[in-house]
Amino acid sequence: MLILGGFPDREQKLNQSTSFSQPMRFNRYFVSLLAYMLLVCAPDLFAQRGRTREPPTPPSNPPVATVNGQPIPYANYRDAVDDQIRYQRRAGTATGVDPLVADTILLGLVDDELVRQEAAKRRLDVSREQAIKALIDDPPEFMRAPFIDSRGTFRREVFENVVRDPTQIIRLLDANIERDSLVRQWRADLEKVILYMQSRENRRRLMDALDAENALSESDIRNRFFTEKTRITGSFLRVLHSTIPDSLVPINDVEARSYFKSHIDDYWRAPARLVSIAILPIDPSSSDSALHRARVDSIRSAVAAARPADRARVVKDIQRSLPPDRFTDDPLRPSQLTHNMLAQLAMTGNQNVAGPFPQPGESTLLYIERRAPVKDTVLRARHILIRSEPGNFTADSTARELAIVLRDSIDNEEEFIQGVQYFSSDAGIDKQGDLGFFGRGRMTRAFDSAAFAGPVKKVIGPVRTEHGYHLIWVSERITEGFVLRELRVPLVVNADARAAVQRDADVLASAMRSGVGGDSLIGVMRNRYPMMATDTSYIQRLERYGDVLSPAKFAFGAKVGDVAVLPLPLDRVMVIRLNAIWAGGTPEYEKMFRWPEAHARRARQLDILAPKLKSIASRIEPEMLIGPLRELAPDAEVFLINGGMVNAPPDEKETILDSLVATVPAMSVGGPVRGVHGFYFLRVAEKTGPSESDYQRERATFSETYRRRRRNDMLGKMISDLRARSTFEDRREQGN
């Protein structure tokens, strides 16, 4: 193949998270296209590579799955799996795909089809001709790169020629290459790229439509900017609708029916299945753990024993027997790594191994191939906090003078730690004032500015924040990223342990199937498997449970009372029983009249409550105790905010409090703002955040970022809803 030779090393791999805003197969089209451009100087190499690609013969014609009755070609799934395997072989790792990756590939194809269907329904779908035009006008980077000449100029005319007339590809190639075969390959690969462009453009058009349906105003963007960048100490209050007793708000049948009709879309529910589930872990024995530790140590030793110039090759050889490396050739920014990883990586030189880092079912070693500059900085710092009293000038001056005396008496980190023990009033004394690694924007504005502008291994401060005066000691500053190779060492469980868990799962399945003794057996199993998980919940179509699709596939294909034992990734076994079927849709009013009645009453209660709360707003104080608050609003709920970002309750719109955060100053109260369940007030005792000039300076960048994030979120929600509403049949087992 010219294009689909494997995933590019420097791109996101398929088994990592993907964005709903772009087709999942985005990364499959890069490496071999570069290889094709090298054919002029290396035709024999390409010919040999071409002969090695013999994908398995697909079934005669059955689809790998159907979505709303529309088939997904088996060849598309086969190609995607082959590409992943080919990438792993190129990386020297495992030559098969695990269930998590296989399900991710299938869901990507399903999402492509759902997007196509939704775009067609809205008459937004992209035709083949439009996709070709989009490809020529704005080719993705993986297509553009091979057509850039030595002067850095994109050869657009050449690119357009080989897209519009695939036979023109032979003009760029060595005369010794078998041309008919090459043209066929180029034509087939070009078709895949055109499909990719159709999917990309369908997503873009759907996001444009969602944007138009949910337009953002300038004030929406401004309020969100201040909300995300402001830190508040205080609380917000929720005064529930039930402050007005139900008995005072009667709702008759006509009113309830009217509410139901005007909000009928809110009562639609996706098809679902009620299942009972038990997940048994397959735990390693002590001998398994000992063997695992020995293998980890042997890998570390093998890398350390090699000459530095040979270590990359040694690591690649070791990776062949391990699960796939999930990292790319791009440097990982320090802020993308955990505190524990950063702490070890910072002390480890290039061409050396850091770790192990325990993960579920495995331990991970990280080989540092190299460091590289990135637009990111993280610090590791300690601090001493000397609290002051707001509004008390004498106490504030005393605290500042103490901080200055301490600063002038500290010469090294050991003395700083002693200062933490004797003088700091922060809760981090037990950690010797260690704040760990943090990136820009994680701390309050003044602290953040001082720490990132200050020197390393010298006392910084005193720095005034709403908490008091800080002295800061930056022990490490990391400004480079890490190009890492991941050595994932599985914790292998012996066959006897696996068989024992399988027997227990079969016994539990029999009890759940018969309905006799299941509860008591669950208790026995819980004693035997302390980490066993049990659950009874609804599961939707195309919903992963236990990280894979197989539970949903069972639930939507089973009859009530059916039980199955399913293997799960990460050494687990699931026992699942189907308890009930919810067909989905909108129930008839008569079967659920109590819900519309309650919702209509809630809306009426909020209408009655609105003027009452406006009248008491001026009497609520920023630091009023709960007792006096309850006298004003008996059903008020108080949500404390301790120097952090203000987040809306999970049952309300994310932005419901944004206007209050943006406008309410310190030592003030704002509100009320109406939500679904009640009214909200924001009480601000202390507040730090950007200024209006900061907003004007960052407005364009923030607006672009926020709009893009919001578009992705809206499309992601749409695709999730489309999955839940779809009819779906997984035919992978039939196709093998």
Q: What is the pLDDT of residue 619?
A: 86
Cα atoms in the 13 Å half-sphere on the side-chain side of 668:
10
Task: Tell me if 333 is assigned to some domain.
Answer: yes
Q: What is the pLDDT of residue 336?
A: 80
Please give the tally of structural domains in the chain. Answer: 4
**Parallel, antiparallel, or unpaired: how do β-strands 459-465 and 434-439 relate?**
unpaired
Average pLDDT over residues 656-681: 94
Average pLDDT over residues 370-398: 81
Task: Tell me if 11 is assigned to some domain.
Answer: no
Residue 459: phi and psi, rounded to 5, are: -70, 135
DSSP 571-624: TEEEEEEEEEEE--B---GGGSTHHHHHHHHHHHHHHHHHHHHHHHGGG--TT-
Average pLDDT over residues 476-494: 89
More confident residue, 336 or 695: 695
**The three-state (H, E, C) secondary structure of 117-146, written as one string:** HHHHHCCCCCCHHHHHHHHHHCCCHHHHHH
Q: How confident is the model at residue 4 (pLDDT cuts 50, 70, 90)?
A: very low
What is the distance, to the nearest Å, from the Cα of residue 370 to the centroid of all Cα atoms in its chain?
27
Q: What is the pLDDT of residue 173?
A: 63
Cα atoms in the 13 Å half-sphere on the side-chain side of 425:
11
Q: Is 641 helix (H, G, I), strand (E, B) or coil?
A: strand
Task: Tell me if 220 is assigned to some domain.
Answer: no
Q: Do 348 and 435 belong together in one domain?
A: yes
Q: Do 518 and 655 belong together in one domain?
A: no
Q: What angle (nearest 5°) sits at the alpha carbon of residue 210, between those of residues 206 and 212?
A: 115
Task: Tell me if 725 is assigned to some domain.
Answer: no
Q: Do 91 and 175 belong together in one domain?
A: yes
Which residue segment(s) compose the domain that 30 sits in? 24-213+730-735
Q: Do 502 and 651 belong together in one domain?
A: no
Q: How confident is the model at residue 228 (pLDDT cuts 50, 70, 90)?
A: very high
Q: Do 162 and 56 belong together in one domain?
A: yes
Residue 318 and residue 487 in contact, taking contact as beta carbons nearer than 8 Å: yes
Q: What is the DSSP letter of 661?
A: H
Q: How far is CA 342 from CA 348, 366, 379, 728, in A?
A: 10, 11, 10, 44
CA distance 195 to 373: 36
Q: Do 362 and 478 belong together in one domain?
A: yes
CA distance 653 to 434: 36
Residue 219 and residue 616 in contact, taking contact as beta carbons nearer than 8 Å: no
More confident residue, 567 or 622: 567
Give the pLDDT confidence of 67-93 residue by residue, as tens digits.
Answer: 999 999 998 898 888 888 877 666 555
Task: Tell me if 123 is assigned to some domain.
Answer: yes
Q: Do 524 and 460 belong together in one domain?
A: no
Q: Do 196 and 123 belong together in one domain?
A: yes
Average pLDDT over residues 727-731: 92
- Range 68-71 contact pairs with CB under 8 angstroms and sequence separation of 24 or more: 68/114, 68/117, 68/726, 68/727, 68/728, 69/727, 70/113, 70/117
Q: How confident is the model at residue 428 (pLDDT cuts 50, 70, 90)?
A: low
Average pLDDT over residues 156-176: 80
Q: Considering 560, 582, 604, which residue would you say is the last residue of a domain? A: 582
Residue 718 and residue 118 in contact, taking contact as beta carbons nearer than 8 Å: yes
Q: Do 535 and 395 belong together in one domain?
A: no
Q: What angle (nearest 5°) sits at the alpha carbon of residue 415, between those of residues 410 and 417?
A: 120
Give me 69's structure tokens: 């009755």
Q: Say which CATH number the domain at 556 has.
A: 3.10.50
Q: Is the pLDDT of residue 27 over 60?
A: no
Task: Tell me if 221 is assigned to some domain.
Answer: no
For residue 181, the tally of other CB atoms under 10 A from its CB is 11
Q: How far is CA 12 from CA 28, 251, 292, 525, 557, in A?
A: 10, 55, 29, 40, 34
Residue 3 and residue 79 in contact, taking contact as beta carbons nearer than 8 Å: no
Q: What is the pLDDT of residue 620?
A: 86
Q: Considering 466, 492, 518, which residue would you say is the last residue of a domain? A: 492
Q: Do 177 and 261 belong together in one domain?
A: no
Q: Which residues contact 496 (CB under 8 A, 6 or more apart)?
A: none
Residue 217 exposed, middle or buried by CB count within 10 Å (0-12, 13-18, 19+) = exposed
CA distance 573 to 671: 51
Q: Do 538 and 641 belong together in one domain?
A: no
Task: Tell me if 439 is assigned to some domain.
Answer: yes
Q: Do 349 and 469 belong together in one domain?
A: yes
Average pLDDT over residues 119-130: 95
Q: What is the pLDDT of residue 68?
A: 96
Give me 364's structure tokens: 């991970």
Q: What is the pLDDT of residue 247?
A: 93
pTM over 0.85: no
Q: Considering 524, 550, 582, which residue would you say is the last residue of a domain? A: 582
**Parallel, antiparallel, or unpaired: how do β-strands 533-540 and 272-281 relate?**
antiparallel
Task: Tell me if 17 is assigned to some domain.
Answer: no
Give the pLDDT confidence of 284-305 residue by residue, as tens digits.
Answer: 989 999 999 999 999 999 999 9
173, 143, 167: which is closest to 155 by C-alpha? Answer: 143
Quote the mean pLDDT of the chain: 84
Q: What is the pLDDT of residue 60?
A: 55
